[in-house]
């Protein structure tokens, strides 16, 4: 085997999350009351557009979640197969060009020369201070001054064409599938999509998809020869860092809620349904947790984790594993600080629902407490859970940046937007200013959070019964 | 012929998406003369509230007026600018709304809210004048202590008081036309009587015209001079009130009247209107009522009927009326149809002597006996949340339920009747007394020990929309009890039972695979009844099962309940505030006031000859359609006190017109009148009927 | 009312005990004082003596819960639990790992924190409410739609970028205000401009959007229809009726954070070099000074509970319907 798979803790949880999502999707597809709000989501133009963008992020994140170690080329003397100590992901493999083309230090986007002057040995033996050529970025150009603009334009065009071809293929596939499903001729379906007359706004979806694909291909084509977003202090490609950070952002946003969900649902419903001392106890629990300022609780816990990790360094097999555990722990502690809000909401809702007639009717029919909770209360609070889930996502992604800035976020060796900002902000004082790391983190984060916020709005409108029918 | 005050022609209002609008008001034409009360009558969803909002130009954001003209005293309202229209609103034309609870701003004092209306329309800018006028207005609507009330907030007032404040606010601009949108629907019957009387009084004092929007035929009969019946966005009939009740022309009007329950229809089935109001977002080809009309002819389906005016005051929108030509049809409904005809339930029954009042009744053993049932909720106060008192929601009531018979528990909201029903079922834990079912004490049984009895005691709730889990299929909802009580553990068996139940309550067995929201209110209530019947109970507590339903649908449910009782021998505890339903359905009645039963006896006895002053007041306050049955209304002042601090002595004495000194100090002991009758009043003389209300007969 | 407040204060006691126990567990049980000493003294080649003297200097050389060597009451008081955790209840914060008195530092550093937090809160509140009213006045027009898009976009930007952008634009490019620093007394004002502007702008997105939702919710209520039926103009309806009602959740939402203003903002203060409690905490975190972090956790909990009680009281003041029992 050329590789052995490595399953990190967070990877396992992501796979679990995927399985849960898939199960939920199958379950929802069979239940009209669950399908109907989702149908409203996909019939909204903002809904489908943001879904496409979020899916693009999700694909990158998932590629970065499949980890393995490659087999080393040469076996050692005993003939035993050896694997590289480095843990890689599919994304690393796909971006191996970017990963390996390291420069010496800072270089601006599309630069052909370093950002700082260096002493250069001239062929005639003299030494001058000048901007040295990059080892990889634009190295193929004979005369960068003259050729660079044309080269960039040409490569963009190639990328554009490639992207459009793939897009056209996908679009044709979709139209063919729709035509077959509805039993209509291909042309008619295409025309309706073009006119925006379909119930699901396919035109918007395809438009966004086209934009994403073209962008991806143009950047991909350019990235083969340039550092599209420049390089950082140690010469690493910023685009690569930004892409690798996607997984971190997504994980924080999703795993945190996944971790806190069982506790919040169980305790919230129990408090509201049983009332009495159970309610008192649960209320005490969440008021206590809530009264500790979140950042400080996270800081305290992460500090303690750091102490523990530095004192037990030998328990971790690799840096990646250690960073991964820290990420998991961060999700856990973020979950501890954020479950209280949902718990309180659910308690209030359960208090209302336990008095509602259908619950009373079930009690009159002798239905057991746990059956009532599972059958009557849980399904009727699921919309709150879902709305909270999507609303929390963007907040958590933003929180990661702030926490990493305070050094209580993810491990400093892990790629994350927070770490990118953190290491870049000190360089703002430089002249000329080094802005590209910040800009890259900003762009990637803003797109994700904006899409998530817009999507959350659509989901809330679709699921909240109070907002319906107005 | 006086010039009309309000002249509406062809008013058309649409709601929602412009590509597929719901035409909630469609070509409405009516005239209102100065000083008259004009009633707009219709069931829910027929567009009467939208009509009112269109006249005020206060439609919700998704609504718009697409055609027509509204002239108020010669001014075309629809062409006014918004600023000019604001002068009319609250000025020449004012409006009061259905929900006094939510229609007043909770954070502004009564004085501020009336004051701003006064200042706006009378140009009195100074605070003092505004306050004086506000006091004057509050006094005019009969609010005691008006200076005091000015500084109070709406939540400190009772529902009836709030509605009076609303009326005062509407009068601030000295309007010529007052639109009252279901002004008393949210109020209790005694409070309703107060408010309706007030409306009449201010109307005659100020000479204003009232557009009264209501679904209650009794209210129309007692207060209006002319009426229009609305159906599915259109007016289908207009008439002077007296003529209308004597001889309704449109089939819809006739069925509406037929479906009203009352004592005279005892032992017969009520007429029902099948189906439901059609959705208004589809174009109509024929008559809108055709699907529900038993008299429909072919032409009704093909061609929408034109408005046909017989005189200035009478008109109808029906092909059949045209066939009858100018001669106003006097044919009874039953001539044209057979299905909804009031038919005797059984050949032996006679409307005047209900069939079940058989002599054996007293010999029967009660299925369930309730003795001195108490449900008290503790009030906590102080640092340590000590119990400082109790809300005495139910304070010692005793009832017996017999198989095959209905006991009605009557009272106004807040009297504890629903809590009593839930206490019987142990859904709220009683704090005292005893509930014995077939000799076995139910109070104090654990959740598990109670299970065997769950099968025999069931409940149907008031709100058909809240009483079924929207996330479950109807089949699972109906089968829930069978599963929980392990009566039919296998799914196939359960579904077979569910199909039977659906047929029993008159629904398609296919309904099992649908969700509750696909059913109308009446159908849902059938489903709720089916759910309760699934476990084959002996006793059914019906908690206001028809009060959320329209009158035509109510008739269906009442018929169903009556049938089921005949067939299955169920005992009903029928909790209601509606005395006409009681007189139609119940065998015995218990009247509750502030947690206690004040009068108890057979329906005919209690309703024909009420002995307790509260019962008398309650009965006299019910609006009645037939003018001959109308009683002199006994004025009940004030509102029901809080069960937290019940008055000393007889709970009713602060409101009782006949209270004497002893009433203030001692709660009256129960007086037995005959074998079946009990009254709790100091003024009841055993054997001698009180003579104060000689004319208080329901039937002559 | 008094009974209610007394009860709430009594209820705060078990919560503070809970917080205290939790931090105790976190700081002294999960990692022993030995671990912390080793961490501070460097990982490798730490002698046992160095650890012991580090602990002794800072008072961590006591037993955790029970001191078997001491007599009488001292066997309970001469412990880490009592010295380091229980004393927090009387606001004796002890000294930090580098020997400074934490209580004194806090009393000095809360003023700069307030100097930023209070103006940010007040200006932000005024701006957000006005902007939300403006949007609601033009609801369902392009003003509304455009504003909502703008607000969602503003919400989607990390607070860090507002600070960096503000420093870059206002400080570095336009030279309108000093980028960072602080001065004593009234001279501090010019150092406050930038952080306050940044604080307000960063809060516009979520704040205004929330207020807009509140206003729209109130506009749909029945009493608004009544007010319109009286013939009141849209302006009066909005200002006298809608605003009054919407202010209840807005104000009580503000009251709950009022006490926490003392804690300052972590990020803003450290970026702008303001010597407030926020940067104090940040420094403590990066220096791994657990005594300070512990003190701030406890202080934060006290202030939060205070905020909850104030919220309930403020309800009775602004909402005539609420009477506390």
Going by their DSSP bridges, the two strands B386-401 and B432-437 should be labelled as unpaired
Residue B544's domain is classified under what CATH number? 3.40.50.300
Average pLDDT over residues B530-557: 90
> What mean pLDDT is predicted for residues B193-221?
90
The total number of structural domains in chain B stands at 1
pLDDT band at B1 (very low <50, low <70, confident <90, very high): low
Chains with ≥3 CB–CB distances under 8 Å to B = A, C
> Domain range holding B546?
367-456+537-686
Other C-beta atoms lying within 10 Å of the C-beta of residue C68: 6
* CA A389/CA A338 separation, integer angstroms: 11
CB-closest option in A296, A438, A457 to C164: A438
| CA atoms of A413 and A402, how far apart (whole Å) | 16
Q: C261 with C225, same domain?
A: yes
User: Do residue C202 and residue C305 come from a single domain?
Assistant: yes
- B374 close to B394: Cβ distance less than 8 angstroms: yes
> Using CB atoms, which chains have 3+ pairs under 8 A with A?
B, C
Nearest chain B Cα distance for residue C7, angstroms = 5
Asked, for residue B337, whether it belongs to a domain, the answer is: no
Instruction: Answer yes or no: is C96 within a domain.
Output: no
**pLDDT of B167 higher than 50:** yes
Range of the domain at C46: 1-90
CB contact under 8 A, A470 and C293: no
A295, A307, A425 member nearest C39 (Cβ): A307
For C114-152, what is each residue's pLDDT tens digit?
Answer: 989 999 999 999 999 999 999 999 988 899 999 999 999
Same domain, C287 and C152: yes
Q: C145 and C28, same structural domain?
A: no
Q: At which of C90, C113, C137 does a domain end?
A: C90
How is residue A5 written in tokens? 């798979």
Question: To the nearest whole number, what is the mean pLDDT of chain C?
Answer: 86
Report the alpha-carbon distance of residue B600 to residue B536 in Å, rounded.
28
Measured between beta carbons, the chain B residues lying within 8 angstroms of C320 are 106-107, 153, 155
Nearest to B115 by CA among B95, B85, B138: B138
Residues C305 and C159 in one domain: yes
Contact C27 A454 (CB under 8 A): no
Query: Closest residue of C to B53, CA-based?
Result: C229
Q: In this predicted structure, what is the pLDDT of residue B126?
A: 57
Nearest CA to CA, how far is B282 from chain C (Å)?
27
What is the number of structural domains in chain A?
1
- Assigned domain for B646 exists: yes
- In this prediction, residue C83 carries a pLDDT of 75
Over range B245-251, report the average pLDDT.
89
Residue of A nearest to B446 (CA): A366
Site of tokens 């879902």? A386
B209: number of Cβ within 10 Å:
21
Note whether residue B544 is domain-resident: yes
- Of B400, B227, B383, nearest in space to B315 by CA: B227
* Domain annotation covers residue A135: no
Non-local (6+) Cβ contacts of A17 within 8 A are A254, A255, A258
Answer whether residue B83 is part of any domain.
no
Residue B327 in this model has a pLDDT that exceeds 60:
no
Inspect the interface and report whether the beta carbons of A307 and C288 lie closer than 8 Å: yes
| CATH of residue C165 | 1.10.3720.10
C325 assigned to some structural domain: no
Per-residue pLDDT 10s for chain A (470 aa) are 678 888 888 899 999 999 999 998 998 888 877 888 888 899 999 999 999 999 999 999 999 999 988 887 765 666 677 777 788 888 888 888 888 888 888 888 888 888 878 777 778 878 888 888 888 777 788 787 888 888 889 999 999 999 999 999 999 999 999 998 888 888 888 888 888 888 889 999 999 999 999 999 999 888 888 888 888 888 888 999 999 999 999 999 999 988 889 999 999 999 999 988 999 999 999 999 888 888 888 888 888 888 788 777 777 777 888 888 889 989 999 998 888 889 999 999 999 999 899 999 999 998 989 999 999 999 899 888 988 888 889 999 999 888 888 888 888 888 899 998 888 877 776 767 788 888 999 999 999 999 999 999 999 888 876 655 43
Which candidate from C10, C230, C320 shows the least CB-CB separation from B116?
Answer: C230
Instruction: Give the per-residue pLDDT at C209.
Output: 93
Query: Both C195 and C73 in a single domain?
Result: no
- Rounded distance between C-alpha atoms, residue B87 and residue B533, angstroms: 57
Same domain, C120 and C70: no
Write the pLDDT tens digit of every residue in C254-284. Answer: 988 888 888 888 888 888 888 889 889 888 8
CB contacts < 8 A (A, C):
128
Together in a domain, C9 and C124: no
Nearest-angstrom CA–CA distance, C202 and C196: 10
Closest-CA residue to B77 (of B62, B88, B66, B90)? B88
> Mapped to the 3 state alphabet, what secondary structure does C225-270 carry?
HHHHHCCCCHHHHHHHHHHHHHHHHHHHHHHHHCHHHHHCCHHHHH
Span C45-91, pLDDT tens digits: 777 888 888 778 777 777 777 777 777 777 777 777 777 777 788 77
Domain assignment of residue A281, yes or no: yes
Distance from C-alpha of B565 to C-alpha of B354, rounded to nearest angstrom: 14
Other Cβ atoms within 10 Å of A195 Cβ, number = 9
Helices (H), B586-678: 603-608, 613-621
- Predicted structure pTM score: 0.87
Contact yes or no for A358 and B535 at CB 8 A: no
- The token duo for B303 is 């061609």
- Domain, as residue range, for A319: 247-450
- In degrees, rounded to 5, the angle at the alpha carbon of residue C124 between the alpha carbons of residues C123 and C125 is 90
Neighbours of chain C (3+ CB pairs under 8 A): A, B
Q: Which residues, including other chains, have CB under 8 Å from residue C181's CB and lie 6 or more apart?
A: C191, C272, C273
Nearest to A402 among C22, C267, C296 (CB): C267
Find out whether A99 and A240 touch, Cβ atoms under 8 Å: yes
Of the listed ranges A135-144, A363-372, B120-129, B251-260, the one predicted with least confidence: B120-129
Count of structural domains, chain C: 2
Residue B631 lies in a domain: yes
Residues C51, C140, single domain; the answer is no
CB contact under 8 A, B89 and C230: yes
For position B331, what pLDDT does the model report? 43
3-class DSSP state of B130: helix
Phi, psi of B608 (to 5 degrees): -80, -35
A303: domain CATH number? 1.10.3720.10
**Residue A454 · residue A52 · CB < 8 Å:** no
3-state SS track over chain A: CCEEEECCHHHHHHHHHHHHHHHHHHHHHHCHHHHHHHHHHHCCHHHHHHHHHHHHHHHHHHHCCCEEEEECCCCCCCCCCCECCCCEEHHHHHCHHHHHCCCCCCECCCCCECCCCEEEECCCCCEEEECCECCCCCCCCCCHHHHHHHHHHHHHHHHHHHHHHHHHHHHHHHHHHHHHHHCCCHHHHHHHHHHCCCCCCHHHHHHHHHHHHHHHHHHHHHHCCCCCCCECCCCCEHHHHHHHHHHHHHHHHHHHHHHHHHHHHHHHHHHHHHCHHHHHHHHHHHHHHHHCCHHHHHHHHHHHHHHHHHHCHHHCCCHHHHHHHHHHHHHHHHHHHHHHHHHHHHHHHHHHHHCCHHHHHHHHCCCCHHHHHHHHHHHHHHHHHHHHHHHHHHHHHHHHHHHHHCCCCCCCCCCCHHHHHHHHHHHHHCCCCCCHHHHHHHHHHHHHHHHHHHHHHHHHHHHCHHHCCC
Does C49 lie in the same domain as C145?
A: no
Give Cα B136 distance to the centre of its chain: 32
Q: Which of B470, B485, B531 sits opposite A361 (nearest CB)?
A: B531
pLDDT at B361 over 50: no
Q: Residue A361: which of B62, B447, B459 has the nearest Cβ?
A: B459
Partners of residue A372 in chain B, C-beta under 8 Å: none
Residue B22 distance to chain A (closest CA, Å): 13
**C185, C37: one domain:** no
Average pLDDT (B254-262) is: 86
pLDDT at position B355 over 60: no
Tell me the residues of chain C between 198 and 257 that have a Cβ less than 8 Å away from chain B: 221-223, 225-233, 236, 240-241, 244-245, 248
Q: Identify whether C305 is part of a domain.
A: yes
Distance CA C316, CA C252 (A): 10
Alpha-carbon distance B310 to B322, whole Å?
Answer: 10
**CA-to-CA dists, residue C210 to A374, B115, C128, C217, angstroms:** 33, 32, 9, 11
Q: What is the pLDDT of residues C149-164, one digit of tens each?
A: 999 999 999 888 998 8
Q: Is B438 inside any structural domain?
A: yes
Is A342 part of a structural domain of the chain? yes
CB atoms closer than 10 angstroms to residue C271: 25
pLDDT at B322 over 70: no
Cβ separation A361–B467 shorter than 8 A: yes
Q: Does residue A240 belong to any structural domain of this protein?
A: no
Q: How far is C73 from chain A (nearest CA, A)?
A: 29
Instruction: Please tell me which residue of chain B has the smallest CA distance to C139.
Output: B61
Do residues B227 and B632 make contact, with C-beta atoms less than 8 angstroms apart? no
Q: Is the torsion defined by CA of C180, C185, C190, C192 positive or negative?
A: positive
C79 and C145, same structural domain? no
């Amino acid at each position: 085997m050329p590789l052995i798979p490595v399953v990190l803790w967070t990877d396992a949880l992501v796979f679990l999350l995927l399985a849960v999502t898939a199960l939920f999707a199958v379950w929802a597809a069979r239940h009209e009351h669950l399908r109907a709000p989702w149908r409203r989501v996909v019939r909204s133009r903002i809904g489908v557009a943001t879904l496409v963008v979020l899916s693009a992020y999700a694909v990158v994140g998932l590629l970065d979640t499949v980890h393995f170690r490659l087999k080393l080329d040469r076996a050692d003397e005993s003939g035993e197969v050896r694997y590289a100590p480095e843990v890689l992901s599919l994304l690393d493999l796909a971006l191996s060009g970017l990963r390996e083309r390291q420069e010496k230090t800072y270089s601006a986007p599309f630069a052909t020369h370093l950002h700082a002057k260096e002493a250069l040995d001239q062929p005639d033996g003299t030494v001058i201070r000048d901007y040295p050529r990059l080892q990889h970025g634009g190295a193929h150009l004979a005369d960068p001054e003259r050729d660079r603009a044309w080269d960039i334009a040409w490569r963009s065009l190639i990328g554009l064409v490639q992207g459009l071809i793939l897009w056209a293929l996908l679009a044709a596939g979709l139209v063919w599938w729709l035509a077959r499903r509805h039993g209509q001729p291909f042309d008619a379906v295409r025309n309706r999509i073009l006119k925006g007359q379909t119930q699901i706004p396919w035109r918007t979806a395809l438009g966004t998809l086209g934009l994403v694909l073209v962008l991806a291909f143009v950047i991909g084509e350019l990235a083969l020869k340039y550092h599209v977003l420049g390089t950082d202090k140690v010469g690493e490609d910023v685009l690569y860092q930004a892409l690798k950070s996607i997984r971190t952002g997504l994980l924080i946003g999703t795993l945190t809620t996944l971790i806190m969900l069982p506790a919040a649902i169980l305790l919230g419903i129990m408090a509201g349904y049983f009332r009495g001392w159970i309610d008192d106890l649960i209320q005490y629990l969440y008021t206590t947790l809530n009264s500790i300022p979140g950042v400080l609780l996270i800081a305290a816990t992460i500090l303690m984790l750091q102490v523990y990790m530095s004192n037990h360094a030998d328990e971790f097999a690799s840096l990646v594993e250690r960073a991964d555990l820290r990420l998991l722990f961060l999700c856990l502690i973020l979950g501890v600080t954020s479950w209280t809000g949902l718990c309180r909401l659910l308690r209030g809702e359960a208090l209302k629902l336990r008095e509602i007639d259908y619950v009373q009717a079930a009690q009159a029919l002798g239905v057991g407490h746990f059956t009532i909770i599972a059958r009557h209360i849980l399904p009727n609070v699921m919309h709150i859970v879902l709305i909270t889930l999507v609303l929390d996502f963007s907040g958590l992604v933003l929180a990661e940046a702030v926490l990493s800035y305070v050094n209580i976020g993810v491990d400093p060796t892990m790629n994350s937007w927070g770490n990118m900002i953190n290491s870049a902000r000190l360089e703002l004082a430089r002249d000329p200013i080094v802005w590209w790391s910040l800009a890259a983190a900003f762009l990637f984060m803003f797109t994700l959070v904006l899409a998530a916020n817009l999507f959350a709005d659509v989901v809330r409108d679709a699921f909240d019964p109070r907002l319906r029918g107005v | 012929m006086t010039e009309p005050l309000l002249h509406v022609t062809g008013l058309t209002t649409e709601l929602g998406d412009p590509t597929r609008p719901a035409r909630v008001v469609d070509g409405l034409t009516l005239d209102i003369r100065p000083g008259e009360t004009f009633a707009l009558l219709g069931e829910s969803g027929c567009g009467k509230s939208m009509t009112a909002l269109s006249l005020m130009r206060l439609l919700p954001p998704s609504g718009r007026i697409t055609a027509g003209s509204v002239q108020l005293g010669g001014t075309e309202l629809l062409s006014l600018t918004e600023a000019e229209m604001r002068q009319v609103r609250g000025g020449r034309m004012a409006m009061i709304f259905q929900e006094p609870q939510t229609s007043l701003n909770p954070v502004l004092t009564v004085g501020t809210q009336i004051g701003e209306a006064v200042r706006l329309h009378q140009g009195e800018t100074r605070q003092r004048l505004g306050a004086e006028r506000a006091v004057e207005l509050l006094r005019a609507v009969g609010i005691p202590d008006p200076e005091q009330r000015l500084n109070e907030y709406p939540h400190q007032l009772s529902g009836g008081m709030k509605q009076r404040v609303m009326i005062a606010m509407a009068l601030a601009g000295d309007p010529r036309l007052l639109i009252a949108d279901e002004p008393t629907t949210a109020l209790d019957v005694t409070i309703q009587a107060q408010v309706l009387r007030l409306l009449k009084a201010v109307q005659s004092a100020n000479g204003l015209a009232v557009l009264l929007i209501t679904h209650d035929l009794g209210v129309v009969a007692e207060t209006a001079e002319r009426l229009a019946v609305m159906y599915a966005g259109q007016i289908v009939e207009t008439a002077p009130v007296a003529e209308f009740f004597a001889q309704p022309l449109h089939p819809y009007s006739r069925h509406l009247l037929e479906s009203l329950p009352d004592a005279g229809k005892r032992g017969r089935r009520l007429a029902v209107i099948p189906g439901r109001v059609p959705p208004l977002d589809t174009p109509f080809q024929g008559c809108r009522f055709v699907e529900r009309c038993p008299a429909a002819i072919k032409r009704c389906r093909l061609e929408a009927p034109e408005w046909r005016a017989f005189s200035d005051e009478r008109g109808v929108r029906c092909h059949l009326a045209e066939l009858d030509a100018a001669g106003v049809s006097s044919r009874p409904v039953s001539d044209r149809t057979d299905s909804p005809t009031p038919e005797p339930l059984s050949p032996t029954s006679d409307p005047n002597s209900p069939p079940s009042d058989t002599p054996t009744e007293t010999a029967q053993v009660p299925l369930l006996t309730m003795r001195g049932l108490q449900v008290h909720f503790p009030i906590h106060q102080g640092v340590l949340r000590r119990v400082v008192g109790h809300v005495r929601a139910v304070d010692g009531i005793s009832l017996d339920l017999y198989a095959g018979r209905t006991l009605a528990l009557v009272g106004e909201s807040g009297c504890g009747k629903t809590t009593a029903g839930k206490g019987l079922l142990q859904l709220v834990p009683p704090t005292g007394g005893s509930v014995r079912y077939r000799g076995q004490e139910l109070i104090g049984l654990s959740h598990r020990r109670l299970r065997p009895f769950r099968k025999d005691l069931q409940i149907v709730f008031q709100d058909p929309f809240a009483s079924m889990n929207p996330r479950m299929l109807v089949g699972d909802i109906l089968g829930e009890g069978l599963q929980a009580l392990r009566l039919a553990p296998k799914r196939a068996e359960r579904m077979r039972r569910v199909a039977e139940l659906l047929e029993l309550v008159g629904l398609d067995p296919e309904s099992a695979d649908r969700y509750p929201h696909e059913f109308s209110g009446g159908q849902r209530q059938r489903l709720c009844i089916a759910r309760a019947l699934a476990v084959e109970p002996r006793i059914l507590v019906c908690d206001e099962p028809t009060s959320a339903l329209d009158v035509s649908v109510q008739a269906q449910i009442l018929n169903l309940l009556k049938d089921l009782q005949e067939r299955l021998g169920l005992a009903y505890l029928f909790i209601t505030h509606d005395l006409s339903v009681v007189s139609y359905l119940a065998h015995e009645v218990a009247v509750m006031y502030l947690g206690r039963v004040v009068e108890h006896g057979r329906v005919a006895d209690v309703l024909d000859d009420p002995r307790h002053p509260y019962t008398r007041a309650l009965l006299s306050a019910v609006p009645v359609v037939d003018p001959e049955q109308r009683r002199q209304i006994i004025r009940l002042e004030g509102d029901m006190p809080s069960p937290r601090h019940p008055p000393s002595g007889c709970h009713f004495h602060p409101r009782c017109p006949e209270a004497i000194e002893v009433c203030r100090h001692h709660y009256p002991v129960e007086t037995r009148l005959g074998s079946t009758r009990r009254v709790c009043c100091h003024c009841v003389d055993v054997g001698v009927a009180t003579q104060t209300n000689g004319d208080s007969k329901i039937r002559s | 009312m008094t009974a209610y407040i007394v009860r709430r204060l009594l209820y705060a006691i078990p919560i503070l005990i809970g917080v205290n126990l939790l931090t105790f567990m976190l700081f002294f049980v999960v990692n022993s004082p030995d671990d912390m000493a080793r961490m501070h003294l460097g990982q490798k080649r730490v002698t046992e003596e160095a650890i012991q003297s580090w602990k002794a200097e800072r008072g961590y050389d006591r037993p955790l819960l029970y001191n078997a060597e001491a007599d009488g009451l001292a066997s309970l008081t001469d412990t880490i639990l009592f010295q380091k955790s229980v004393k927090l209840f009387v606001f004796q914060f002890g000294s930090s790992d580098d020997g400074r008195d934490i209580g004194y530092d806090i009393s000095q550093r809360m003023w700069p924190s307030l100097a930023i937090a209070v103006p940010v809160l007040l200006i932000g509140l005024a701006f957000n409410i006005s902007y939300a009213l403006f949007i609601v006045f033009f609801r369902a027009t392009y003003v509304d739609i455009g504003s909502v898009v703008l607000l969602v976009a503003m919400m989607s930007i990390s607070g860090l970028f507002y600070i960096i952008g503000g420093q870059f634009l206002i400080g570095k490019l336009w030279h309108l205000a000093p980028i960072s620093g602080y001065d004593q007394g009234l001279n501090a004002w010019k150092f406050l401009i930038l952080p306050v502007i940044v604080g307000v702008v960063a809060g516009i997105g979520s704040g205004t959007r929330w207020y807009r939702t509140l206003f729209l919710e109130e506009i749909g209520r029945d009493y608004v229809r009544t007010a319109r039926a009286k013939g009141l103009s849209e302006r009066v309806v909005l200002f006298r009726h809608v605003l009054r009602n919407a202010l209840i959740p807005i104000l009580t939402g503000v009251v709950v954070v009022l006490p926490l203003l003392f804690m300052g903002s972590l990020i803003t203060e450290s970026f702008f070099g303001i010597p407030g409690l926020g940067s104090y905490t940040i420094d403590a975190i990066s220096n791994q000074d657990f005594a300070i972090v512990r003190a701030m956790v406890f202080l934060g909990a006290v202030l939060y509970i205070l905020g909850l009680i104030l919220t309930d009281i403020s309800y009775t003041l602004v909402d005539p319907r609420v009477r506390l029992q």
